[in-house]
């Protein structure tokens, strides 16, 4: 570990973390939500281990990664118990087994095929993993996730698979500034969540939505977990394991 890199990340967090926490708290209050009800997932993807070390030293305990290889490397370095490790990026089915072996929560379960692979891996290992179903609320081809039209039925089916503890839903809004577009995407996830929670036994009410550019709107629309990278750690460095 490089001590100067650690100092850089720690110094940056001293400025950014209080700001991000204030922004979240202000959005909670503005939305009439309980302060502290939104969980901050610090997205350390594409940043080196010094970044993770700085995050842990700053008291952050929910860390998000988007590549299995990088998640494995960081979990190996810090230990499974050092943090709650969130897998937030697209997963190929052939990596399902590796993902469930290291992640505490997988936000990016985006198809029944992947869910079934994860379930079989977990049944073999007698494990249980918390998952969220990722929904493509924008309809953009570049985004993965269950299509809104078939999401209810497929996610209901997913929630019956052994080994998977379905805690709720996740989405990524389009990368735009237009608040109306963001609101539409987040509100559609919330409505889907409401119908799954009332119709599917034991379905969880978590809503993982909101990133650096859209966290205020996401919290106003009911987010329970925001995934924040850039606002905390600056531009990604392209580090890979």
Ligand X SMILES: *Cc1c(COP(=O)(O)O)cnc(C)c1O
Residues in contact with ligand X by the rule CB under 6 A: 43, 45, 66, 88-89, 172, 211-213, 227-231
Q: Degrees (nearest 5) of the Cα angle 96, 142, 75?
A: 35
- For ligand X, the closer of residues 7 and 230 by Cβ is 230
Query: Least separation, in Å, of the C-beta of 199 and ligand X?
Result: 27
Query: Least separation, in Å, of the C-beta of 57 and ligand X?
Result: 20
Query: Least separation, in Å, of the C-beta of 232 and ligand X?
Result: 8
C-alpha 188/C-alpha 191 separation (Å) is: 5
C-alpha 221/C-alpha 215 separation (Å) is: 10
Query: Least separation, in Å, of the C-beta of 19 and ligand X?
Result: 13
Query: Least separation, in Å, of the C-beta of 106 and ligand X?
Result: 11
The number of C-alpha atoms within 13 Å of 150 and in the hemisphere containing its C-beta is: 9
- For ligand X, the closer of residues 28 and 110 by Cβ is 110
CB closest to ligand X, residue no: 229
The tokens for 73 are 């490397």
- For ligand X, the closer of residues 73 and 210 by Cβ is 210
The tokens for 17 are 């973390």
Largest CA distance in the chain: 53
- For ligand X, the closer of residues 120 and 212 by Cβ is 212
* Burial readout 33-53 (b: 16 or more C-beta within 10 A, e: otherwise): beeeebbbbbbbbbbbbbbbb
- For ligand X, the closer of residues 158 and 225 by Cβ is 225
């Amino acid at each position: 570990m490089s001590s100067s890199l650690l100092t850089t990340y720690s110094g940056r967090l001293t400025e950014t973390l209080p700001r991000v926490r204030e922004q979240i708290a202000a959005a909670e209050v503005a939305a009439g939500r309980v302060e502290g009800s939104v969980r901050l997932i610090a997205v350390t993807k594409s940043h080196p281990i010094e970044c993770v070390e700085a995050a842990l030293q700053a008291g952050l305990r929910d860390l998000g990664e988007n590549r299995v290889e990088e998640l494995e490397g960081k979990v190996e370095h810090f230990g499974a118990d050092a943090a709650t490790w969130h897998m937030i990026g697209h997963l190929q089915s052939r990596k399902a087994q590796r993902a469930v072996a290291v992640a505490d929560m997988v936000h990016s379960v985006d198809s029944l095929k992947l869910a079934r692979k994860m379930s079989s891996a977990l049944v073999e290992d007698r494990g249980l993993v918390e998952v969220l179903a990722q929904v493509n609320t924008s309809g953009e081809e570049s985004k993965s996730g269950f299509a809104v039209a078939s999401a209810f039925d497929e996610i209901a089916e997913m929630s019956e698979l052994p080994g998977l503890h379905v805690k709720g839903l996740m989405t990524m809004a389009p990368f735009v500034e237009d608040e109306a577009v963001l609101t539409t995407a987040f509100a559609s996830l919330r409505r889907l969540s409401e119908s799954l929670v009332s119709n599917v036994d034991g379905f969880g009410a978590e809503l993982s939505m909101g990133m650096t550019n859209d966290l205020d709107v996401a919290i106003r629309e009911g987010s329970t977990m925001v995934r924040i990278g850039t606002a905390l750690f600056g531009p990604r460095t392209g580090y890979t394991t």
